[in-house]
Structure 1
């Protein structure tokens, strides 16, 4: 079976103009787009669902989602224990409101990550008080115990990729027994997510690769998992010839302290690349780590002036940064979809990417819409980057083909249509279940 056939949704195209608008509750325990792909998903999916005529109420915790015009936000505050500039803080006595707050703090104190569980419990309480307000409830990968059972409306859950993949890679990167114990405790919530996922009637995911990982890692039956590709905002992420190209500039989106993102291999590749292309330099959209493998690599290769980290820039500044690059790079060991790849391709910036996880589904065939390399291979990365820098015609051809691929396959409008079709299928299935009782 081809990748294209595998990821076709069985409900795609079932929405018609005559279908009544839906009242949608979209739950997200971490919804700020600067926190990663889940926040981007909430922002753009909610906007496009509203454009289809639906009513969308996003229910989220800190850092609160950034939404476009149309969707409403209901704040469901946690204790915000990981906020900047005082992460892992101890709340004051008067901040505690109930037993869920106490559970949140106790889990953090013992090295665990509480937010999926505690948000699910708060969401359940909130939804119980809002019975009848929604036609469907859409959970954005919380997968907490509080979302099991009757919520007053059918539940659809998106799993971008199983967090057990992150856990596996973080354990592999741990240098000693103490660190491995800490990683296992932090990811203890993944056991809950697996138990919840196996009891869900309907799971959405964003790629065929993620579908396979969900079945393998979480034990969800294959027929319950449906793929709806996400995509880029192609109005925002578009070519602009007026933005000057900076010679040697390579752009990537990555957090330096997340092994899964493979940034350390890109830094090593940059060191190799600069022996023949001294103008080559890297701009990383993400958080700089002051210590760890990436920081050590930058220092050991003497790349302090050739690697720059940027964070907190506007959407327009980010798009112009990608437009200014000669190459966009996704060096990840694994991705459940890779929004940065789709967004960079939408600007017409040529892409060098690994074949980790679902990246090939997005980036397309090697030599046609990107240059593809094995994950974790700095030599292959350096060779592909050098080939791209040496060949302006190749960059132009791959950039144009990449944008066309995104326009054809990966837009938020298409994602909203497919998601809404699954909402209706979930509603119909719930109605059939009720009639059969």
Structure 2
């Protein structure tokens, strides 16, 4: 294919995603919305993904590339039957899980390489969504360039989990689980084009993964403003705070929000929290809920006679249900210690809900200046979180001002349509570079 042909016609895109759950974590959200908007621009997008499979919109093809799904609910870390193993990649997946590692990035990349080799000529470009497995190094050919998105280096998650580990055994377990990050560092350094979602992530990729800055391009993502928008028909619930926390890990800072809620309720007893995510059965958050008497079934009434639980967890809801939930809140909160972008911040702002957010990672790039589009607090400071939440709950005029300014910020900077246009521009640049320098190795 010539550079001119690649620049002039709609593209055939293979979008790889080793995990695609749209209800838990940002990768599935990214795949769904980017693929839809690329399709609306006229491109043909085929998502190649493993379990949990992504939910895609009309016009986007899903090709299932199944793993052994070793972490599925309700039996995570299951041992598959011998008959489930189809080949040596499956055996590798099971063996890595047995020894405490996380195999999916490597094993998915090996399966993807095999599939793409069998379908030569079907695609113009391969776009990997943060797999960074060794198999990717065999997918790029002179006529098929490779681009990858790194939302943020997983080495950041590893660093924060090690810092919070309280025993030598736990530290050893964390190091083994995140063993795949060594592979991701090696692969990232050899990739010709890396997309990321914020300036903060770009700096982390340079520092943690050693990718030359000239190869990294920032393409901000955004909220689906067709769904996340104000709706006066949804009643506001007094005292309601909403947050999204896909996992009970230190990175998300949920423990600090629970502590903040306990402080806040001593002065504003109707304050209550709805967490979009899975309720942890053990760990720091579960311990804090019990310690402060905030768990469901222990302190069910917020103090205003409503019968609402002090903390409630919801999961598996649709985008429309999520938007209604955020609209019903007086305050949305992003308590993260670090974010590579923070979709929850953008979505809350798009609905016209006032935001309290930490200054962790790239969150300020999305949420904007303190006192103008949000209230910003230091990460890990439950006292500052409690003060900011209490200030907003008590001040309707401030909530309205921040909400309006926040929505305008999202509309002007963070939409999926703009993300797709920018991404397509990088596809075409990669095609032109590949055509001009076929087979050039990146070191």
TM-score normalised over the length of structure 1: 0.95
Distance 2:108 2:400 in 1: 46
Task: Confirm or deny that 1:419 pairs with 2:423.
Answer: yes
When structure 1 is superposed on structure 2, of 116-125 and 84-93 the one drifting more is: 84-93
Distance 2:253 2:343 in 1: 16
Q: 1:24 is paired with a residue of what secondary structure?
A: strand
Choose from 79, 87, 92 the match for 1:103: 92
Do the aligned residues in 1 keep the contact of 2:243 with 2:276 (CA within 8 Å)? yes
Distance 2:313 2:139 in 1: 46
Distance 2:280 2:224 in 1: 29
By how many angstroms is 1:134 displaced? 0.6
Task: Confirm or deny that 1:359 pairs with 2:399.
Answer: no
Choose from 46, 52, 60 the match for 2:49: 60
Choose from 279, 283, 292 the match for 2:283: 292
Q: 2:437 is paired with a residue of what secondary structure?
A: helix
When structure 1 is superposed on structure 2, of 131-140 and 303-312 the one drifting more is: 303-312
By how many angstroms is 1:151 displaced? 3.3
1:18-54 Cα offsets, whole Å, 9 max, x none, are 8310000000000121231000000000000000000
Task: Confirm or deny that 1:175 pairs with 2:179.
Answer: no
Do the aligned residues in 2 keep the contact of 1:198 with 1:219 (CA within 8 Å)? yes
Distance 2:43 2:178 in 1: 36
Task: Confirm or deny that 1:140 pairs with 2:129.
Answer: yes
Distance 2:389 2:417 in 1: 32
1:150-197 Cα offsets, whole Å, 9 max, x none, are 534100000000000000111111110001000000000000000000
By how many angstroms is 1:314 displaced? 2.0
> What does 1:264-343 align with in structure 2 at a 5 Å threshold?
264-304=255-295, 305=300, 306-343=310-347
Do the aligned residues in 1 keep the contact of 2:339 with 2:362 (CA within 8 Å)? yes
TM-score normalised over the length of structure 2: 0.93
Choose from 187, 195, 214 the match for 1:196: 187
Task: Confirm or deny that 1:233 pairs with 2:224.
Answer: yes
By how many angstroms is 1:256 displaced? 5.1
Task: Confirm or deny that 1:218 pairs with 2:209.
Answer: yes
Task: Confirm or deny that 1:118 pairs with 2:122.
Answer: no
Distance 2:77 2:156 in 1: 24
By how many angstroms is 1:91 displaced? 1.1
Q: 2:322 is paired with a residue of what secondary structure?
A: helix
By how many angstroms is 1:436 displaced? 8.4
Do the aligned residues in 2 keep the contact of 1:127 with 1:151 (CA within 8 Å)? no
Task: Confirm or deny that 1:87 pairs with 2:76.
Answer: yes
Distance 1:71 1:200 in 2: 26
Match of 2:305 in 1: none
Do the aligned residues in 2 keep the contact of 1:57 with 1:74 (CA within 8 Å)? yes
1:336-386 Cα offsets, whole Å, 9 max, x none, are 000000000000000000000000000000000000000000010011011
Match of 1:6 in 2: none
Q: 1:120–1:150: structure 2 CA closer, same or farther, 3 Å change rule?
A: closer
Do the aligned residues in 2 keep the contact of 1:143 with 1:193 (CA within 8 Å)? yes
Match of 2:60 in 1: 71
Distance 1:256 1:288 in 2: 9
By how many angstroms is 1:300 displaced? 1.1
Q: 1:266 is paired with a residue of what secondary structure?
A: helix
Q: 1:321 is paired with a residue of what secondary structure?
A: helix
Give the ranges of 4+ consecutive aligned residues of structure 1 lying more than 3 Å apart after TM superposition: 149-152
Task: Confirm or deny that 1:246 pairs with 2:234.
Answer: no
> What does 1:360-375 align with in structure 2 at a 5 Å threshold?
360-375=364-379
Distance 1:435 1:287 in 2: 46
Distance 2:287 2:385 in 1: 19
Choose from 155, 173, 184 the match for 2:146: 155
Match of 2:118 in 1: 129
Do the aligned residues in 1 keep the contact of 2:24 with 2:246 (CA within 8 Å)? no
Distance 2:353 2:40 in 1: 28
Q: Which runs of 5+ in 1 are unaligned?
A: 1-17
Distance 1:35 1:308 in 2: 17
Matched positions, count: 421
Q: 1:434 is paired with a residue of what secondary structure?
A: coil
